[in-house]
Amino acid sequence: MSKRLFLPPVAGALRTASRAWLPAGLLGLLALLPSAGLAADDGFGPSLSKEASRPIAKPRFQSQDARIRPSADKAAPRSFTMGQAVRYALENNESLGAAEAQMRASEEGRKAQRGYLGPKVGTTYSWFKQTRTTSVQNAQQPPSNGTFTWSLEVSQVLFDGFKNLGTYQKQALQAESDRAALRRSELETTGAVQGQFIDYLCLLELIHSQREAEGRLQDQLKITKAFHDAGLKPKLDVLQAEVDLGKASQTLIASENKRDTARAKLNTLLGLPATKPVQYQGGLRVAKFTGTLESCLEAAYRLRPDLYVGCKAVEMAVKDRLLARSGYYPKIEAYYNITKTGNTPDLERGGSRSTRSTTWEAGARLSWDLFQWGTTYFADQQAGWLVAKMRSQMRQIILDAGFDVKSRFLALREADKRIAVAKASVASAQEAYEASLGAYQAQVGTNFDVLDASSKLLAAQSDLTTAKGDYLKALSQLYLAMGEYRPDLL
């Protein structure tokens, strides 16, 4: 049995490394810490909350091969309000399932990388047989049964230039980034469902207005025909009324087709077949938004998941430089192993010239690439420029986020003003139509005046519907730009 310990050479190497390399390396690492980030370089920056990386919906998977589906007694409802539609979409939209699978994969990768920080245990078992021909008399011959060897080794990396630690930290950052990416996808899906829901409700209101307009034109055609039959109006008035009625019917048919298409698109966003008969309920009820631009910007800098993802990208770039700099340092590993040999499978004596031995060994290994033609240095410089790139991209993301919030806020304010103007226009157009119809029936107005007034009334009603829809969509997009989850706007 032999016992060897190789600690003195390691200690000497460490003393040499601490004098020559570690001070400069540690100063370089301190310069790369995330604390010297955007807030230190610029006068503005995000103050992000952990909520920016917290998924909204419950887990969508039972296992890698099975999604959680509604049971038979909790099947998909046959009607949805906006809030119900958003919540159902977050649970069943397949693109969100893919984002969650990516998030879970990153988390498992973090756990896998964590394993490299602990000790490693390995074992080997081998057999070999030798024959020897020699001219030396009485020379020792190999065992006749061959040699069986079993070894067990436990090793632990003591220092590797922060390579394993940096890799683990980078994978942990990736897991956090993917969680934030899932929340961003959930918010984007919320905005998509709300926008499509609002378009659907606008089409319903528009169809209602067009049906009223078609009814007015049908009544006008009856009145015009009665006047013509009595010899009070020319045939031209009848033809004009028929043409306008035909145009109104064609427009109504097109709007009904758009309504059915919008409903099929909503089904798809909710993870339902496009042909499934589902009713979407609600009305264009506009609630006054009372927030200020400053409060919206504050919420965006705190809650936007894309800012969280951007910050994690900067931190991962910093970790990449840490990994590149690991080449400056030695790798030190401690180990303990036991090796047994024998002439039988159970490692005992057997056969002629049999032997048996057991060896315990404890020690440490140091390996250090002292010169590689600048490979590590230039890799370090490359990683440093990539850090600068990611910081510049992050600053641009912050600027874009501020513009996004302000543009949505201004669009909301514009739509609010348009609603007030459109309401007044509808009242005036309704009064003008009634006046022109009364004048025509009293034989002091023309058929063209009635048709024109009906057309302007429909246009005013359409403008009001569009303004309400634009207001609600701007509100939905503003909440999305702020990073807030608001499933029900109505």
CB-CB neighbours of 375 under 10 Å: 12
Indicate whether 470 belongs to any domain. yes
Same domain, 324 and 459: yes
Residue recorded with tokens 């033609």 = 373
Same domain, 154 and 199: no
Question: How many domains does the chain divide into?
Answer: 2
Query: pLDDT truncated to tens, each residue of the chain (490 aa)?
Result: 333 333 333 333 334 334 433 333 333 433 333 333 333 344 445 788 899 999 999 998 888 888 887 654 456 678 999 999 999 999 988 899 999 999 999 999 999 999 999 999 999 999 988 877 777 666 677 777 888 999 999 999 999 999 999 999 999 999 999 999 999 999 999 999 999 999 999 999 999 999 999 999 999 899 999 988 888 888 898 999 899 999 999 999 999 999 999 999 999 999 899 999 999 999 899 888 999 999 999 999 999 999 999 999 999 999 999 999 999 999 999 999 999 999 888 888 877 777 889 999 999 999 998 888 999 999 999 999 999 999 999 999 999 999 999 999 999 999 999 999 999 999 999 999 999 999 998 888 898 999 999 999 999 999 999 999 999 999 999 999 999 999 998 8
Rounded to an integer, what distance in angstroms lies between the CA atom of residue 263 and that of residue 85? 12
The pLDDT value given to residue 260: 95
Same domain, 151 and 291: no
Indicate whether 260 belongs to any domain. yes
Contact 116, 155 (CB under 8 A): no
Domain boundary, last residue among 318, 340, 367 = 367
The pLDDT value given to residue 70: 63
Same domain, 300 and 361: no
Rounded to an integer, what distance in angstroms lies between the CA atom of residue 343 and that of residue 278? 78
Q: What is the CATH number of the domain that holds 275?
A: 1.20.1600.10
CA atoms in the 13 A half-sphere facing the CB of 483:
30
The pLDDT value given to residue 144: 78
Same domain, 149 and 207: no
CB-CB neighbours of 188 under 10 Å: 16
Same domain, 153 and 235: no
Collapsing DSSP to helix, strand or coil, 355 comes out as coil
Indicate whether 180 belongs to any domain. no
The pLDDT value given to residue 83: 94
pTM of the full structure: 0.81
Indicate whether 206 belongs to any domain. yes
Indicate whether 73 belongs to any domain. no
| Cα-based distances in Å from 114 to 111, 165, 171, 261 | 5, 8, 9, 50
Residue recorded with tokens 């045939």 = 235
The pLDDT value given to residue 3: 37
Contact 44, 50 (CB under 8 A): no
Same domain, 296 and 210: yes
Domain range for 356? 1-31+118-132+139-159+331-367
Rounded to an integer, what distance in angstroms lies between the CA atom of residue 199 and that of residue 264? 12
Same domain, 384 and 353: no
Domain boundary, last residue among 316, 341, 367 = 367
Contact 324, 163 (CB under 8 A): no
Residues 429-460 as b/e (b if ≥16 CB within 10 A, e otherwise) read beebbeebbeebeeeebebebbbebbbbbbeb
Same domain, 397 and 336: no
The CA-based diameter of the chain, rounded to the nearest angstrom, is 144
Indicate whether 69 belongs to any domain. no
Q: Which token pair is 411?
A: 């669009």
Same domain, 286 and 409: yes
Indicate whether 153 belongs to any domain. yes
Q: In DSSP terms, which residues pair with 404 in a beta bridge?
A: none
Same domain, 323 and 337: no
Same domain, 429 and 473: yes
Of 175, 176, 169, the residue nearest 53 (C-alpha): 176
Rounded to an integer, what distance in angstroms lies between the CA atom of residue 490 and that of residue 484? 16
Rounded to an integer, what distance in angstroms lies between the CA atom of residue 222 and that of residue 118? 90
Indicate whether 277 belongs to any domain. yes
Domain boundary, last residue among 339, 367, 395 = 367
